[in-house]
Amino acid sequence: MGGFVSFVSSGPGDPELLTVKAVARLQAADVVLFDDLSAGPILEHARPDADLIGVGKRAGRASPKQDHVSRVLVDHAQAGLKVVRLKSGDSGMFGRLEEEIIALRAADIPFEIVPGVTAASAAAATAGIPLTRRMTARRVQFITGADVTGELPRDVNMAALADPMATTVVYMGKRTFAGLAARLIEHGLPGHTPALLAEAVSTPAEKVQRFTIGTLARHLESTSSTTPALIFYGPLAEFET
């Protein structure tokens, strides 16, 4: 029997946000290769005899190289095992999914992708806001705040990012947001544009704070934290609490 790989999206952290299909694949897996943010109670759905292998990457920490992760994935599948590659959030959102698919296709290994709740949707739900608004935010854009070097990407479309009629969600952007905010303001986005900082989304440590892009830039410059976070900015709804 040949091996098979399921790319399973674990959601942002709350095990109750796993899909039924994700749970079924975890329960059937011989091997689970998991990201750091997919650890903890989510792994309790795996079989007791499953081999659990941590392959997560975190900024500022020693992490396995991507070619090593892809090699481990291929090796276990070639051994005829049912493999779950457990990725945080939605596996197709800034999760190195493409590199791992390329490795599997090169080895002629079949796979499937199980979609999940991305952190942006969970954070917006926690904040009690919609990502779109009928008159003022007809477009949503998800971007990464860091390229392969960890710096703000040089080739971003600033006209699109400074669009006052779009909701923009920045993944992995805490360290680079001050620089991004300065460029946004240079391209015409007002410094008082609403912003949200959502940290440790859907976990017990979850924290959501409201800022403007100007005050958020100053806040992030004066603080240091390795907590995973998302940044939202644009015409964000504000409701009475």
Q: Determine, yes or no, domain membership for 241.
A: no
Phi-psi region of 234 (alpha: psi -120 to 50; beta: other; left: phi over 0): left
User: pLDDT at position 27, please?
Assistant: 98
What pTM value is reported for the model? Answer: 0.89
| Residue range of the domain that includes 135 | 119-233
pLDDT at residue 45, rounded to an integer: 96
Say what the pLDDT of residue 125 is. Answer: 95
pLDDT at 147: 86
The answer to whether position 221 is within a domain reads yes
Compute the C-alpha angle 7/39/80, nearest 5°.
40
Residues 69 and 134 in one domain: no
pLDDT at 4: 98
239 lies in some domain: no
Mean pLDDT of all residues belonging to the chain:
92
pLDDT of 240 higher than 50: no
Task: For residues 231 and 210, give the distance between their C-alpha atoms in angstroms, rounded to a whole number.
Answer: 10
For the question of residue 75 being annotated catalytic, the response is no
Active-site residue identified among 14, 30, 87, 172: 172
**pLDDT tens digit string along 213-232?**
999 999 999 988 888 999 99
Predicted pLDDT of residue 74: 97
Does residue 165 lie in a domain region? yes
Whether the predicted pLDDT of 144 surpasses 80:
yes
Report the percentage of the chain scoring pLDDT > 70: 95
- Residue 52 Ramachandran class (φ > 0 left, ψ -120 to 50 alpha, else beta): beta
pLDDT one-digit tens code per residue, 183-200: 999 999 999 999 999 999
Domain-ending residue, one of 61, 92, 114: 114
The verdict on whether 65 is a catalytic residue reads no
CATH code of 18's domain: 3.40.1010.10
Determine the Cα angle at 148 with ends 142 and 152, to 5°.
55
Residues 163, 101 share a domain: no
Q: Is residue 81 part of a domain?
A: yes
Residue 55: φ, ψ to 5°:
-130, 25
Residue 123 shares a structural domain with residue 226 = yes
Q: What is the pLDDT of residues 78-93, one digit of tens each?
A: 999 999 999 999 999 9
pLDDT at residue 103 in the model: 97
> Strands 82-87 and 4-9: what pairing?
parallel
Residue 96, token pair as written in the block: 């190195």
232 Rama sector, left if φ>0, alpha if ψ -120 to 50, beta otherwise: beta
Residue 212 near residue 196, CB atoms below 8 Å: no
Helix axes 97-106, 66-78, angle to 10 degrees: 40
Asked whether residue 172 falls in the same domain as residue 129, the answer is yes
Highest mean predicted confidence (pLDDT) among 65-69, 136-140, 164-168: 164-168
pLDDT score of 40 = 87
Residues 134, 225 within the same domain:
yes
The proportion of the chain whose per-residue pLDDT surpasses 90, expressed as a percent, equals: 80
Q: Which position among 30, 35, 90, 163 bears the catalytic label?
A: 35
Q: How many domains does the chain have?
A: 2
Out of 79, 114, 149, a domain closes at 114
Give me the catalytic one of 21, 36, 51, 57: 57
Categorize the per-residue pLDDT at 149 as very low, low, confident or very high, splitting at 50, 70 and 90.
confident
For residue 171, tell me if it sits in a domain. yes
Please say if 57 is a catalytic residue: yes
Q: What is the mean pLDDT of residues 234-241?
A: 70
Residue 7 to residue 65: CA distance in whole angstroms: 18
The last residue of one of the domains, among 65, 84, 114, is 114
Residue 238 belongs to a domain: no
The answer on pLDDT for 241 being more than 50 is no
